[in-house]
Structure 1
Amino acid sequence: MRILDTTFGHSGAAAARDESSAREPLTRGSIIARLERLPTNAMQVRARILIGLATFFDGFDVIAIATTLPILIQKWQLTPWEIGFLIASGSVGQLFGAFLFPWLAERHGRVRAIAWSSGIIGVTSIACGFAPSFAVFAALRVIQGFGLGGELPVAATYINEVSRAHGRGRFVLLYEVVFPIGLLASNALGAWIVPRFGWQVMYFIGGMPLVLFFLLRKLVPESPRWLAERERLADADAAVHAFERTAKGPLPPVTNAAEFDAMAKRHPKRRVKDLFGPAYLKRTLAVAMLWMTCGFIQYGLSTWLPTIYRSIYHAPLQLALNLAVAASVLGVVGSLTCALLVDKVGRKPIINVSFLLCAVSLALAGVCHAMSVYVVATFCALALGLLASGFITAYVYTPELYPTSIRAMGCGVGGAWLKVAAIFAPTIVSKTMIGGHLDVAFYILAAVPFLAAIAVHFLGIETKGKVLEQLEA
């Protein structure tokens, strides 16, 4: 599939080849070297904005169930089992999507996979707004989950691959911060829209990613690293040129292509089974604990918060939704803080400190569960803000741990662990909460980030400031 030939035109690709050949031979190493010398440019900004929109609505649609759930419970007279199933239904689809779309991305390109996942997200969100029954709504959530589960890991892979080593953490995380902003927007809009206009409007708004299905492939070039890995060097050259021609000022000369070629020759092309082989097993275990924690807390706590505030503490619907919005605000603050620090402090320290403090906050919520809703909401908001710092770091850290040939699948496997946790976490919270043991639910939630911090500390590697190809095992 010759994506770039149709996207940017044969003449653009030919001009890029002529210009490139005047400088040096076209090799995988030269493609990497040209990417690594690039300053931030207009095409990178465009890619970050457009793919960021897909990720924004990923976050928006993931958490939309939280603001609409109290209404849906009354509308369809849902039992506790049906409530837990409804929350987990999207995660079932996301589990399969976390494998499907990274697999498509490895074979057909990152941009195509993101466009396809965005189309599924948009169509099914609109359909959810017209769902006549619980069964139809749950089925649509499963289908939508395919897109939601596939978009994030592929998007994180793409943004990492078009970034250079210097400042990569900040560049990637300033893109990834749109996901918690999407969560915030969903909670904030839901708090205002649902009581006034009904729950359906949230899902109509969530259908906007459908536009990206038609536009993304025309406006964003494919990953040059992926194209070079597939030995499509002419297309890789044209893709790099799409970034180069939007850079301001003259570009520095390419000086280290031979070094990157030597790296490529030293490391064999990896397959999916290598994720669990000797070279990458420790990294994969660390990734598993990292993403499981994000899924367990995000779906075991965030989606339940408005319902907990209303059912356990008898808060009015508007207050319950407003308190959930406050937690989302801290999530954005934590993400922005992380983006500014990640290239200075490193990936592992931010993940470990954030998760340990998150565990402390959740434990304190358990200790103080019998106090007012405001006390519990404060500790929950702190926990989610700290979780967001570790969660967003996962999106720059995970792609750095794997080579280009299996990078998307490595991210997909991480995302799959998130979905596995997301399937079981709501049920655990539901059973403990209904049984009158909300404190136990908080203690269980607190144990997860604590164990993840230990796993990342002992099994993970530090990746700050290194070219992606230098990190291959």
Structure 2
Amino acid sequence: MRLSKNDRNALISAIVASGTDDLNVMFLSFSLTSIIASLAISKVEAGWIATITNLGMLLGGIVFGILADRYNKFKVFRWTVVIFSLATALIFFTPNLQYLYAMRFIAGIGVGGEYGVAIAIMAGLVPKENMGRVSSINGIVGQIGSITSAALAGLIAPIFGWRGLFLCGLLPLLIVGWSLIHVDADKVSDFDEQTDTAAPGDRGKIGDLFKTRQIASQTLCLMVMTTVQIAGYFGMMNWLPSIIQEQAGVSMSGSSIWMITTILGMCLGMVVFGQLLDRLGPRRVYSVFLLASSMSVYLFSFAKTGLTILIAGAIVGFFVNGMFAGYGAMITRLYPHHVRSLANNTILNVGRAIGGFSSVVIGYILQHSTIPVVLLFLASLYLFSLLAMLSISNLKKENYQELRPLAEDSIKS
């Protein structure tokens, strides 16, 4: 891809920022036990911290999706990063649970707004036939953000406590500062803007995601797919470490090694998925990955030794989270330019808000049943997602390049 220096810097900013929102979100996972002890709160009250964050993401996704589609995307993108960075850092001053709820909700607003706006910036800079690969890089940077969060938790928390860890939330401001110097927001290219015939007042309307029966069905099916994606991810990362400790007698350090191999499997899956998506289109690739996700999650119940658990974890990560790289590219094709940011933000953050409850459901199943039942539950989710994907009529088209104009025509009609 031949980009101007300004566009190249804008693309780098959008990709790197997507890693920093994962960095900020994961701070909670690594500090939750300390927060419970410090604030003397119950596990139920602690569970609401993540739920409130997800609700903030949903609100931020809608609000900033509308703003980005109507105004300068890159300027809106900068503000989303500033919001989640400052709100995360202000957790350092937490006096009580209510304050923590408020800061996590505000941070969620910024994180929820950032994703779809960043994807829309990438889509305006990158040729359509390369969007799958760029989305995969975006997803891999997110995993790097999670790993960095774990490293910072190990280095900062023992010295400065959990509050000190959240001060690291200021780090993404470095990206904003760098972009202010190296990116002229008014000159960032957006190739499809030249063909966008929508009036300024008609851009970023959430009603356009449901304007016709076909588009409404498409939007709902994609929400089902992203809900399953998030539910499977949270189920795997939150519960499988404890499950394998019980199932194979693996120590906590052993489950940490499993986490590393699983994340490496995720990154490789994203690379492969992005390549295949650009070459074969979403219908074929998602069919293979969803079926493989269902089978690999269920077969995980037969892994009984340390070695087989490491191998199974890498395979599960490869298929289960490899698909995440495709949603931004696919949604960008399925919806026209004037609702691109809003569509990405709304669909993914509905998935976050609903799929985040999977940890509660899995905990309930573990309390009343067995590990194989949990894995069967997760496996069935991917089959449900497969049915939703197959029902999206626009994905039946042989030429994936035509999806965006088809969506434009559908909304106009």
Q: Do both proteins adopt the same fold according to a TM-score greater than 0.5, normalized to the shorter chain?
A: yes
Letter in 2 for 1:115: R
Does residue 301 of structure 2 align to residue 338 of structure 1?
Answer: no
1:43 paired residue number: 6
Query: 70-79 or 393-402: which moved more?
Result: 70-79
Distance 1:319 1:206, change over 3 A: farther
Does residue 268 of structure 2 align to residue 329 of structure 1?
Answer: no
1:436, distance to aligned residue in structure 2 (A): 5.3
2:210 paired residue number: 276
Kindly report the root-mean-square deviation, in angstroms, between the aligned alpha carbons of the 2 structures.
3.3
1:440, distance to aligned residue in structure 2 (A): 2.9
1:56, distance to aligned residue in structure 2 (A): 0.7
1:351 paired residue number: 286
Does residue 102 of structure 2 align to residue 139 of structure 1?
Answer: yes
1:432 paired residue number: 365
Query: 317-326 or 276-285: which moved more?
Result: 317-326
| Alignment partners' CA distance in 1, 2:179 and 2:316 | 35
| Alignment partners' CA distance in 1, 2:11 and 2:261 | 27
2:351 paired residue number: 418
1:209, distance to aligned residue in structure 2 (A): 1.6
What does residue range 290-329 of structure 1 map to in structure 2 within 5 Å?
Answer: 290-305=225-240, 317-329=252-264
2:170 alignment partner, SS class:
coil
1:79, distance to aligned residue in structure 2 (A): 3.5
Instruction: Give deviations 1:118-159, integer Å, cap 9, x for gaps.
Output: 011111222234434444333322221111111111111111
Instruction: Give deviations 1:23-51, integer Å, cap 9, x for gaps.
Output: xxxxxxxxxxxxxxx73443333122111
Q: Structure 2 length as normaliser, TM-score?
A: 0.83
1:286, distance to aligned residue in structure 2 (A): 3.0
C-alpha contact 1:56 1:179 (8 A) present in aligned 2 = yes
Letter in 2 for 1:221: A
Distance 1:184 1:192, change over 3 A: same
| Alignment partners' CA distance in 2, 1:375 and 1:201 | 38
Higher Rg of the two aligned structures: 1
Query: 325-334 or 437-446: which moved more?
Result: 437-446
Of 385, 397, 400, the match for 2:333? 400
Does residue 320 of structure 2 align to residue 387 of structure 1?
Answer: yes
What does residue range 199-278 of structure 1 map to in structure 2 within 5 Å?
Answer: 199-216=162-179, 219-222=183-186, 224-225=189-190, 228=193, 271-278=205-212
1:389 alignment partner, SS class:
coil
1:238 paired residue number: none
2:222 paired residue number: 287
Distance 1:373 1:444, change over 3 A: farther
Distance 1:358 1:277, change over 3 A: same
Q: Structure 1 length as normaliser, TM-score?
A: 0.74
Distance 1:186 1:210, change over 3 A: same
C-alpha contact 2:135 2:326 (8 A) present in aligned 1 = no
Does residue 408 of structure 2 align to residue 472 of structure 1?
Answer: yes
Distance 1:311 1:126, change over 3 A: farther
| Alignment partners' CA distance in 2, 1:387 and 1:330 | 9
1:170 alignment partner, SS class:
helix
Distance 1:454 1:187, change over 3 A: farther
1:110, distance to aligned residue in structure 2 (A): 1.2
1:189, distance to aligned residue in structure 2 (A): 4.7
C-alpha contact 1:112 1:217 (8 A) present in aligned 2 = no
1:418, distance to aligned residue in structure 2 (A): 1.5
Instruction: Give deviations 1:159-187, integer Å, cap 9, x for gaps.
Output: 11222234333234334432233233334
What does residue range 37-186 of structure 1 map to in structure 2 within 5 Å?
Answer: 39-76=2-39, 78-186=41-149
- Gapped runs of 5+ residues in structure 2? none
| Alignment partners' CA distance in 2, 1:135 and 1:317 | 32
Letter in 1 for 2:210: F
Letter in 2 for 1:162: L
- Gapped runs of 5+ residues in structure 1? 1-37, 230-259
| Alignment partners' CA distance in 1, 2:23 and 2:226 | 19
2:322 alignment partner, SS class:
helix
1:28 paired residue number: none
1:419, distance to aligned residue in structure 2 (A): 2.1
